[in-house]
Structure 1
Amino acid sequence: MIKQLFKYIAAGCLVTAMMVACKKSDSFLDKRQTESLTEQMVFSDSAKTLSFLTDLYAYTGMDLIHNRYTLITSAVGNDYACMEDMTSHSVSYYSDPQASFITGASTARNYFTTNYYKTYYQKIRAANQYIKKVKGSPLSVGMQLRTSAEARYLRAWYYAQLVRYFGGVMLVGDTIYSDLSTPIDYKRNSYKECIDYIVAECDKATADLPAAVDQPAADYGRITQGMCMALKARMLVTAASPLYNGNPISTDGQLQPLISYSASYDANLWQKAADACKAVMNSNNYSLYETASIPGTRAGYSFWKLFLLRKNSEYIMPYMMGYNTNLEGAWFPVSRGGSGWSTPSQNLVDAFGMANGKATSSPGSGYDPKFPYNNRDPRFYNSIIYNQATVYNNSTKKMDPVDIFKTWQGTLSADGLQAYSTKTGYYSRKMCNDSTGKYTNTQRVYPVIRYAEILMGYAEAMNELNGPTPEVYDIVKSIRKRGGILPGADNMYGLDAGMSKEAMRGIIRNEYEVEFAYEGHWYYDTRRWKTAEVTENRPIQGMMVTKQQDNSFTYQTITALNAVFLYPKMYFAPLPFDEVNKSATLLQNPGW
Structure 2
Amino acid sequence: MKNLIKYIMITASIGLAVWSTGCKKASSSGFLDPTDIGQINEQTVFADSALSMQFLNSVYAELPKTYFMQNGITGGGIWSFADASDDGEARWSSGFSQGYNMANVAGGSDNSFSLSTWSGCYGMVRRVNVFLFNIDRAPLSAAKKTRLKAESRFLRAYAYYHLLRTFGGVPLLGDAKYSLTDNFMLPRSSFAATLDYIEKELDAITPILSLDYPPEDFGRPTRGAVLAVKSKLLLLAASPLYNESNPNTGPLKALLGFESGDANRWKKAADAAKAVMDLGLYHLVEDNTTAPGYGYYDMGIQRKNSEYIFQIMMNTGRFYEQYLLPASRGGQNYGNPTQQLVDDYGMANGKLITEAGSGYVETTPYLNRDPRFGYTILFNQSLWLDRTSLTKKPVDLYMQAPGDGMSTAPYNTVTGYLWRRFCNENAGGNFGVSSQIGLVVSRYADILMCYAEALNEFQGPGPEVYNAVEAIRKRAGLMPYALATGLNKDQMRTIIRHERRIEFANEEGHRLFDIYRWKVAENLLNGPMGGMRWTKTGSNFTAARIVFETRKFNSPQMYYHPIPLKEINKNNLLLQNPGW
Scaled by the length of structure 1, the TM-score of the pair is 0.88
Whether 1:582 and 2:570 are equivalent positions in the alignment is yes
Q: Residue 305 of structure 2: SS of its match in structure 1?
A: coil
Say which of 273, 279, 284 aligns to 1:283. 279
Match of 1:234 in 2: 232
Match of 1:4 in 2: none
Whether 1:248 and 2:246 are equivalent positions in the alignment is yes
Distance 2:403 2:182 in 1: 58
Distance 1:126 1:408 in 2: 56
Whether 1:268 and 2:264 are equivalent positions in the alignment is yes
Deviations 1:232-284 (A, max 9, x none): 1110000000000021242x121011111x23321110010011110010011
Match of 2:256 in 1: 259
Per the TM alignment, residue 436 of structure 1 is displaced from its structure 2 partner at its CA by 3.9
Match of 2:411 in 1: 420
Match of 1:3 in 2: none
Distance 1:557 1:475 in 2: 35
Q: Which runs of 5+ in 2 are unaligned?
A: 12-21
Q: Which amino acid aligns with 1:257?
A: A
Question: 1:49 and 1:334, CA in 2 relative to 1: closer, same or farther beyond 3 A?
Answer: same
Q: Residue 110 of structure 2: SS of its match in structure 1?
A: coil
Q: Which amino acid aligns with 2:228?
A: A
Answer yes or no: is the 8 Å Cα contact 1:13–1:125 preserved in 2. Answer: no
Q: Name which of structure 1's ranges 345-354 and 422-431 shifts more when overlaid on structure 2.
A: 345-354
Say which of 545, 552, 559 aligns to 2:547. 559
Q: Which amino acid aligns with 2:426?
A: S
Per the TM alignment, residue 290 of structure 1 is displaced from its structure 2 partner at its CA by 2.0
Per the TM alignment, residue 378 of structure 1 is displaced from its structure 2 partner at its CA by 0.5
Answer yes or no: is the 8 Å Cα contact 1:171–1:194 preserved in 2. Answer: yes
Match of 2:518 in 1: 529
Answer yes or no: is the 8 Å Cα contact 2:83–2:336 preserved in 1. Answer: no
Q: Residue 539 of structure 1: SS of its match in structure 2?
A: strand
Distance 2:201 2:575 in 1: 25
Question: 1:330 and 1:85, CA in 2 relative to 1: closer, same or farther beyond 3 A?
Answer: same
Deviations 1:31-65 (A, max 9, x none): x9999951011111000000111111122233545
Deviations 1:98-127 (A, max 9, x none): 579447424202252212201211110110
- Structure 1 residues 390-539: aligned runs within 5 Å: 390-406=383-399, 411-413=404-406, 418-438=409-429, 439-440=431-432, 441-487=434-480, 493=481, 495-519=483-507, 520-539=509-528
Distance 2:177 2:515 in 1: 35
Q: Residue 243 of structure 1: SS of its match in structure 2?
A: helix
Q: How well do the aligned residues superpose, as a CA RMSD in angstroms?
A: 3.0
Whether 1:105 and 2:116 are equivalent positions in the alignment is no
Match of 1:5 in 2: none
Match of 2:295 in 1: 302
Match of 1:83 in 2: 86
Question: 1:472 and 1:147, CA in 2 relative to 1: closer, same or farther beyond 3 A?
Answer: same
Distance 1:366 1:482 in 2: 21
- Structure 1 residues 102-141: aligned runs within 5 Å: 102=101, 104-106=103-105, 107-141=108-142
Distance 1:26 1:66 in 2: 15
Distance 1:485 1:26 in 2: 45
Q: Residue 494 of structure 2: SS of its match in structure 1?
A: helix
Match of 1:542 in 2: 531
Per the TM alignment, residue 164 of structure 1 is displaced from its structure 2 partner at its CA by 0.9
Deviations 1:194-234 (A, max 9, x none): 1111111001111221112xx22221111111111111111
Answer yes or no: is the 8 Å Cα contact 1:232–1:276 preserved in 2. Answer: yes
Question: 1:436 and 1:584, CA in 2 relative to 1: closer, same or farther beyond 3 A?
Answer: closer
Deviations 1:438-483 (A, max 9, x none): 3121222221111111110000011001111111111111101111
Q: Residue 109 of structure 2: SS of its match in structure 1?
A: coil
Q: Residue 234 of structure 2: SS of its match in structure 1?
A: helix
Match of 1:570 in 2: 558
Q: Which amino acid aligns with 1:139?
A: L
Whether 1:177 and 2:178 are equivalent positions in the alignment is yes
Distance 2:400 2:388 in 1: 18
Say which of 38, 42, 62 aligns to 1:39. 42
Answer yes or no: is the 8 Å Cα contact 2:79–2:335 preserved in 1. Answer: no
Distance 1:27 1:41 in 2: 24
Question: 1:104 and 1:407, CA in 2 relative to 1: closer, same or farther beyond 3 A?
Answer: farther
Question: 1:384 and 1:444, CA in 2 relative to 1: closer, same or farther beyond 3 A?
Answer: same
- Structure 1 residues 361-376: aligned runs within 5 Å: 361-376=354-369
Q: Which runs of 5+ in 1 are unaligned?
A: 1-7, 488-492
Question: 1:219 and 1:74, CA in 2 relative to 1: closer, same or farther beyond 3 A?
Answer: closer
Distance 2:10 2:197 in 1: 28
Per the TM alignment, residue 77 of structure 1 is displaced from its structure 2 partner at its CA by 4.1
Answer yes or no: is the 8 Å Cα contact 2:321–2:423 preserved in 1. Answer: yes
Aligned length: 560
Match of 1:17 in 2: 9
Question: 1:314 and 1:35, CA in 2 relative to 1: closer, same or farther beyond 3 A?
Answer: closer
Distance 1:16 1:408 in 2: 51
Answer yes or no: is the 8 Å Cα contact 2:70–2:78 preserved in 1. Answer: no
Q: Name which of structure 1's ranges 347-356 and 374-383 shifts more when overlaid on structure 2.
A: 347-356
Deviations 1:519-571 (A, max 9, x none): 1211111100101001122322111212345x333322211111111111000
Per the TM alignment, residue 337 of structure 1 is displaced from its structure 2 partner at its CA by 2.1
Scaled by the length of structure 2, the TM-score of the pair is 0.90
Answer yes or no: is the 8 Å Cα contact 1:61–1:448 preserved in 2. Answer: no
Match of 2:169 in 1: 168
Per the TM alignment, residue 392 of structure 1 is displaced from its structure 2 partner at its CA by 1.3
Distance 1:560 1:546 in 2: 16
Match of 2:14 in 1: none
Distance 1:329 1:160 in 2: 29
Question: 1:502 and 1:14, CA in 2 relative to 1: closer, same or farther beyond 3 A?
Answer: farther
Distance 1:193 1:458 in 2: 24
Deviations 1:411-461 (A, max 9, x none): 3449xx921121001011000012343312122222111111111000001
Answer yes or no: is the 8 Å Cα contact 1:541–1:560 preserved in 2. Answer: yes
Match of 2:59 in 1: 56
Answer yes or no: is the 8 Å Cα contact 2:68–2:81 preserved in 1. Answer: no
Question: 1:409 and 1:38, CA in 2 relative to 1: closer, same or farther beyond 3 A?
Answer: farther
Per the TM alignment, residue 330 of structure 1 is displaced from its structure 2 partner at its CA by 1.7
Match of 1:146 in 2: 147
Q: Which amino acid aligns with 1:265?
A: G
Distance 1:543 1:79 in 2: 18
Distance 1:327 1:291 in 2: 22
Per the TM alignment, residue 302 of structure 1 is displaced from its structure 2 partner at its CA by 0.5
Q: Which amino acid aligns with 2:52?
A: T
Q: Residue 542 of structure 2: SS of its match in structure 1?
A: strand
Match of 2:200 in 1: 200
Say which of 303, 323, 329 aligns to 1:330. 323
Answer yes or no: is the 8 Å Cα contact 2:287–2:475 preserved in 1. Answer: no
Q: Residue 273 of structure 2: SS of its match in structure 1?
A: helix
Q: Residue 307 of structure 1: SS of its match in structure 2?
A: helix
Distance 1:120 1:570 in 2: 20
Distance 1:357 1:50 in 2: 49
Q: Which amino acid aligns with 1:48?
A: L
